[in-house]
């Protein structure tokens, strides 16, 4: 049942404050007692694999889905009780880009300005800003259906910000676009953050984590860590070696079976071998052991943990501790 008691006062600098947020669909728990605090003016990255509960969380934060339990406060308002007060102050760019294909770029912007009841003069001001910010100047009259995915993504950002929101939720905004367009899109997000907009961004691209001020990891509906990228990396605390060689699959199997190796997995084209926190095994010894079992062409380099390493480590720990059985739940109702 949703809590309806008055909530205690929050520090002024908090954009999102969530306690015990839970959503169940039938017998399946998609979001499981999440606590979150997002400071104003920050880029907050909400990371997790497909089906981990990111969209369900965002929908509860934006007031479009009622929580099964828990408290949600956005910009100081209780979203469950006062979603109408919050709506004009937030923007939401959904995973599927809610754009009208048969309308032009400008008509889409005008439509969303209408949804937010922007006065005509304010619309003109905001339209000019959004077109310039999203680099859409000159494309005002183009039909949305004729735009490439990258341009649609920019237009979707434009429609989500046409009313100049204080807080913007972006659900996998860079999904399905090439790495160059992804990088350029992040530049747009930095521009918005530079104007003081708080950004809550979900992604399953681990490299995008580095662009965020603060991160939270969700896995199977549960929050398994949060902190700044530096804090999360420092918390990893175990030696990692990058292993390059020809027979990656065989080396992976061998490393996984060795009891002096904590974890081994593919990281891009190379292998990462994670040793226990108190391991005395050096890179040179690891190389010798690999050579000793026939991996003669192996090269070993010590590396600092990336955010992906941190996430793999957390997921492994969660699984060893016996988390819920399946990442995917039932089909959507």
Ligand X SMILES: Nc1ncnc2c1ncn2[C@@H]1O[C@H](COP(=O)(O)OP(=O)(O)OP(=O)(O)O)[C@@H](O)[C@H]1O
Report the C-alpha gap between 312 and 219 in whole angstroms: 11
Stretch of residues binding ligand X (CB under 6 A), selected from 34-42, 49-57, 144-152, 229-237 = 49-57
Toward ligand X, which CB reaches closer, 44 or 295?
Answer: 44
- Report the residue count for the chain: 333
Instruction: Tell me the CB-side half-sphere exposure of residue 309, using CA atoms within 13 A.
Output: 26
Tokens of 181: 């367009």
Q: How far is the CB of 27 from ligand X (least distance, A)?
A: 10
d(CA 177, CA 175): 6
- Stretches 44-52, 79-87, 117-125, 151-159: which one binds ligand X (CB under 6 A)? 44-52
Among 55, 104, 203, 313, binds ligand X (CB under 6 A): 55
Q: Which of 45, 53, 70, 158 binds ligand X (CB under 6 A)?
A: 53
In the region spanning residues 140 to 179, those forming contacts with ligand X, defined by CB under 6 A, are 172
CA–CA separation, 209 and 158 (whole Å): 23
**Cβ–Cβ under 8 Å, residues 210 and 311:** no
* 216 is an interface residue for ligand X by CB under 6 A: no
Site for ligand X in 254-293 (CB under 6 A): none
Among 34, 37, 38, 56, binds ligand X (CB under 6 A): 56
Q: Tell me which of 7, 14, 25, 281 binds ligand X, using CB under 6 A.
A: 25
The residues in 293-332 that bind ligand X, with binding defined as CB under 6 A, are: 328-330, 332
C-alpha pair distances (Å), 33 with each of 21, 50, 55, 100, 218:
5, 19, 15, 36, 11
The CA R_g of the chain, rounded to the nearest whole Å, is: 23
Give least dist CB 202 to ligand X, A: 7
Let me know: does 266 contact 312? Beta carbons within 8 Å. no
Binding site for ligand X (CB under 6 A): 25, 30, 48, 50-56, 172, 328-330, 332-333
């Amino acid at each position: 049942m949703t809590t309806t008691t008055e909530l205690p006062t929050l520090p002024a600098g908090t954009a999102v404050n969530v306690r015990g947020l839970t959503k169940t669909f039938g017998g399946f728990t998609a979001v499981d007692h999440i606590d979150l605090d997002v400071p104003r003016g920050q880029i907050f990255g909400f990371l997790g694999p497909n089906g981990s509960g990111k969209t369900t969380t965002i929908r509860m934060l934006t007031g479009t889905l009622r929580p099964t339990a828990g408290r949600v406060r956005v910009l100081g308002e209780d979203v469950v009780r006062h979603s109408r007060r919050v709506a004009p102050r937030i923007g939401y760019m959904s995973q599927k880009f809610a754009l009208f294909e048969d309308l032009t770029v400008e008509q889409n912007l005008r439509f969303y300005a209408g949804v937010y009841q922007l006065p005509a003069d304010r619309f003109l001001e905001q339209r000019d800003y959004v077109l310039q910010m999203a680099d859409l100047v000159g494309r005002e009259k183009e039909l949305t259906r004729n735009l490439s995915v990258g341009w649609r993504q920019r237009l979707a950002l434009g429609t989500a910000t046409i009313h100049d929101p204080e807080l913007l939720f972006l659900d996998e905004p860079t999904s399905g676009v090439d790495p160059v367009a992804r990088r350029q899109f992040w530049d747009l997000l930095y521009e918005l953050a530079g104007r003081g907009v708080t950004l809550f961004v979900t992604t399953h691209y681990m490299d995008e984590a580095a662009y965020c001020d603060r991160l939270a990891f969700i896995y199977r509906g549960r929050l398994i860590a949060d902190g700044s990228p530096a804090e999360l990396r420092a918390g990893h605390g175990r030696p990692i070696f990058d292993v390059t060689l020809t027979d990656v699959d065989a080396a992976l199997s061998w490393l996984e079976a060795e009891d002096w190796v904590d974890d081994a997995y593919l990281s891009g084209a190379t292998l990462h071998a994670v040793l226990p926190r108190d391991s005395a095994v050096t890179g040179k010894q690891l190389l010798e052991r690999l050579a000793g079992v026939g991996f003669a062409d192996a090269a070993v380099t010590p590396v600092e943990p990336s955010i992906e390493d941190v996430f793999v480590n957390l997921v492994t720990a969660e699984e060893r501790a016996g988390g819920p059985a399946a990442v995917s739940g039932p089909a959507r109702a």
